[in-house]
């Protein structure tokens, strides 16, 4: 009986004791102090308000009822001012382990999301600009959310919403067109990096914006030469995007829509805003929605030179996504600096009565900065994603060389550990916090890190590799008694499903990451204090092996939802 069952059992006990009342929302949580049991509920405290009765009276009635009807509970404790703590029976835990191990592929999966499509937008690279460390968070968090949604039966659709439209491309076009022969030749040889250099140099020119606007206006109006150059730049940049995505081991994208793909949808939206009186035309010819009264400033849809804006493209995007995918939710993994932008987008879309606005959410995240000097020398002042990955893998290889010099496939493992460390560092923090990435911390084999969890997994696997065939018969005797640590470890290992549910509630992968860390910590404690292979009682040995299988399976599944590979040896 895990959380959901326990919740049902409590509701049923309430109905049996207090009749068919509307049951208020109550919680079932894991007590911080493990001595207080596997779960605790505040149901009686909440009911006390509804029933105008003392919580301790309610608790007394409920606990007797729960005890009588639920043999899966070993112990029910009443704690003033009105909490109830539950300890699950060992028998129940043992039966559950067996259930998981008989069907390992299904572990952690559910059908909760069946029939629901969720758009997840992340890794929104901009054309001709190198993917940098700022894109890492979007990519890593977005990918983890997509994987987790998939595991619960949702139809998660990923999109990159590539930045390929706007004045900045006008600047690039302008710079490219006036580049001399030598520069053009260099660009041909190494297009991606050279375009970036070109863009950066052009931006230093005080006329860049003006000329850029003019070139972009031409592009938007369909100028053949500009279109051709632009198309070529998009292609080069998409290759780069694919390269970064595969380096990071991201799932492949379902959509590769660029902002430009909404080009044809924009005019109708502008007309609509004007017709509905939502927007007005200024004397200079711009189209704006005045949101000053709501503290959201002016939302500009069309600039005075007639060019479309980023905001207008986002309006077209919501409309497209709702019409094309009929999403249940539409998520944008974008850093917190754009929260004002998304407030404007959602508000204007609401004024236009677009469908899907209330289901659209800016899943924002804070900054990740690297300690200064760390790898900045390699790529000028922007730290490229590539350099961060290289560094992570290089450092992982060094650590492995020291810890396990004879390891086979050391390079493959270093890749998994390095990229895993990078991802885990990001994912283990609350996405809303600003974080400073620290190499030593992220790559340490101790503490709340990716390598620690991977290492724990590899250790558990190495025990399992040493077992003989007769050991791994997966029926667990349900009569053996568990000691307190064993009991806690089983209960913790079985919580994967409910942790995933919690992590998805507000799209917080850190909930899953921290669960895995606590599970790994407990597993290490167990491993150091309990013999497994040396255990002489066969039933106990069998149980401990099953427990280790459960924990290893749970760690690997959980890591995979975070997009992290777990090497079998490291």
Is residue 314 within the footprint of ligand ARG (CB under 6 A)? yes
Q: Give the other-Cβ count within 10 Å of 337's Cβ.
A: 10
The rounded distance, in Å, linking the Cα atoms of 540 and 535 is 7
Token pair listed for 298: 């002016």
Candidate residues 253, 332, 437, 439; the one interacting with ligand ARG per rule CB under 6 A? 332
In terms of CB distance, is 332 or 526 closer to ligand ARG?
A: 332
Candidate residues 161, 329, 431, 540; the one interacting with ligand ARG per rule CB under 6 A? 161
Give the binding range for ligand ARG (CB under 6 A) out of 12-20, 57-65, 118-126, 521-529: 118-126
User: Residue with the closest Cβ to ligand ARG?
Assistant: 163
Give the binding range for ligand ARG (CB under 6 A) out of 120-128, 249-257, 487-495, 512-520: 120-128
Query: For 382, what's the count of Cα atoms within 13 Å in the CB-facing half-sphere?
Result: 14
Query: Locate tokens 């590899």: which residue?
Result: 458
Is residue 329 within the footprint of ligand ARG (CB under 6 A)? no
In terms of CB distance, is 226 or 317 closer to ligand ARG?
A: 317
In terms of CB distance, is 160 or 226 closer to ligand ARG?
A: 160
Footprint of ligand ARG on 530-569 (CB under 6 A) = none
Contact 196, 290 (CB under 8 A): no
Q: Which residues pair with 360 in a beta bridge?
A: 330
Q: How far is the CB of 317 from ligand ARG (least distance, A)?
A: 6
Candidate residues 126, 384, 549, 554; the one interacting with ligand ARG per rule CB under 6 A? 126
Q: How far is the CB of 146 from ligand ARG (least distance, A)?
A: 16
Give the binding range for ligand ARG (CB under 6 A) out of 60-68, 121-129, 301-309, 484-492: 121-129
Give the DSSP letter of residue 126. Answer: B
How many residues belong to the site for ligand ARG (CB under 6 A)?
Answer: 9
Contact 525, 76 (CB under 8 A): no
Q: How far lies 258's CA from each of 207, 235, 322, in Å?
A: 27, 11, 17
Candidate residues 82, 163, 493, 558; the one interacting with ligand ARG per rule CB under 6 A? 163
- Mapping DSSP onto H, E and C, the string for 443-486 reads HCCCCCCHHHHHHHHHHHHHHHHCCCHHHHCCCCCCCCCCCHHH
Token pair listed for 241: 């995007």
Q: How far is the CB of 285 from ligand ARG (least distance, A)?
A: 24
The rounded distance, in Å, linking the Cα atoms of 81 and 455 is 43
In terms of CB distance, is 97 or 125 closer to ligand ARG?
A: 125
Is residue 122 within the footprint of ligand ARG (CB under 6 A)? no
Q: Which residues pair with 330 in a beta bridge?
A: 119, 360
In terms of CB distance, is 73 or 127 closer to ligand ARG?
A: 127
In terms of CB distance, is 317 or 384 closer to ligand ARG?
A: 317
Contact 299, 344 (CB under 8 A): yes
Nearest to 344 by CA among 263, 404, 290, 424: 290
Candidate residues 334, 399, 500, 522; the one interacting with ligand ARG per rule CB under 6 A? 334
The rounded distance, in Å, linking the Cα atoms of 149 and 110 is 10
Name the site residues for ligand ARG (rule: CB under 6 A): 121, 124, 126, 161, 163, 314, 317, 332, 334
């Amino acid at each position: 009986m895990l959380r959901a069952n326990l919740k049902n059992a409590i509701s049923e006990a309430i109905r049996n004791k207090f009749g068919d009342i509307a049951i208020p929302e109550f919680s079932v949580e894991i007590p911080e102090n493990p001595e207080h049991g596997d779960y605790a509920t505040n149901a009686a405290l909440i009911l006390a308000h509804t029933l105008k009765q003392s919580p301790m009276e309610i608790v007394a009635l409920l606990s007797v009822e729960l005890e009588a009807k639920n043999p899966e509970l070993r112990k029910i404790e009443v704690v003033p001012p009105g909490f109830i703590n539950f300890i699950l029976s060992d028998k129940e835990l043992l039966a559950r382990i067996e259930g998981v191990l008989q069907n390992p592929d299904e572990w952690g999966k559910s059908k909760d999301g069946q029939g629901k499509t969720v758009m997840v937008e992340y890794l929104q690279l901009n054309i001709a600009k190198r993917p940098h460390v700022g894109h890492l968070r979007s990519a890593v968090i977005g990918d983890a959310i997509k994987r987790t949604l998939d595991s619960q039966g949702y139809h998660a659709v990923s999109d990159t919403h590539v930045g390929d439209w706007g004045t900045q491309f006008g600047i690039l076009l302008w710079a490219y067109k006036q580049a001399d022969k030598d520069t053009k030749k260099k660009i041909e040889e190494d297009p991606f990096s050279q375009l970036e250099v070109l863009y950066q140099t052009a931006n230093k020119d005080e006329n860049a914006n003006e000329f850029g606007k003019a070139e972009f206006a031409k592009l938007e109006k369909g100028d053949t030469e500009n279109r051709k150059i632009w198309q070529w730049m998009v292609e080069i940049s998409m290759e780069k995007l694919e390269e970064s995505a595969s380096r990071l081991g991201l799932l492949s994208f379902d959509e590769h829509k660029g902002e430009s793909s909404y080009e044809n949808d924009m005019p109708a939206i502008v007309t609509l805003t004007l017709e509905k009186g939502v927007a007005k035309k200024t004397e200079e010819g711009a189209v704006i929605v005045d949101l000053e009264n709501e503290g959201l400033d002016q939302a500009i849809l069309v600039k005075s030179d007639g060019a479309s804006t980023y905001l207008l493209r986002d309006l077209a995007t919501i409309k497209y996504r709702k019409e094309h995918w009929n999403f249940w939710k539409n998520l944008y993994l974008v850093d917190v600096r754009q929260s004002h932008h998304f407030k404007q987008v959602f508000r204007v879309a609401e004024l236009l009565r677009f469908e899907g606005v209330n289901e659209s959410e800016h899943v924002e995240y804070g900054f990740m900065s690297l300690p200064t000097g760390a790898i900045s020398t390699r790529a000028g002042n922007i730290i490229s994603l590539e350099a961060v990955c290289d560094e992570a893998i290089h450092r992982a290889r060094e650590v492995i060389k020291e810890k396990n010099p004879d390891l086979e496939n050391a390079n493959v493992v270093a890749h998994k550990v390095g990229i895993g460390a990078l991802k885990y560092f990001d994912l283990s923090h609350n996405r809303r916090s600003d974080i400073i990435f620290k190499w030593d911390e992220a790559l340490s084999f101790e503490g709340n890190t990716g390598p620690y969890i991977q290492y724990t997994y590899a250790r558990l696997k190495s025990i399992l590799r040493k077992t003989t065939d007769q050991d791994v018969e997966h029926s667990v005797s349900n009569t053996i008694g568990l000691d307190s640590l064993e009991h806690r470890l089983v209960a913790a290992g079985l919580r994967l499903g409910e942790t995933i549910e919690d992590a998805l509630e507000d799209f917080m992968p850190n909930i899953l990451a921290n669960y895995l860390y606590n599970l790994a910590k407990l597993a290490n404690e167990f491993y150091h204090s309990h013999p497994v292979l040396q255990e002489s009682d066969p039933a106990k040995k069998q149980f401990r092996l099953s427990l280790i299988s459960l924990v290893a399976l749970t760690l690997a599944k959980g890591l995979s939802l975070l997009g992290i590979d777990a090497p079998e040896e490291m």
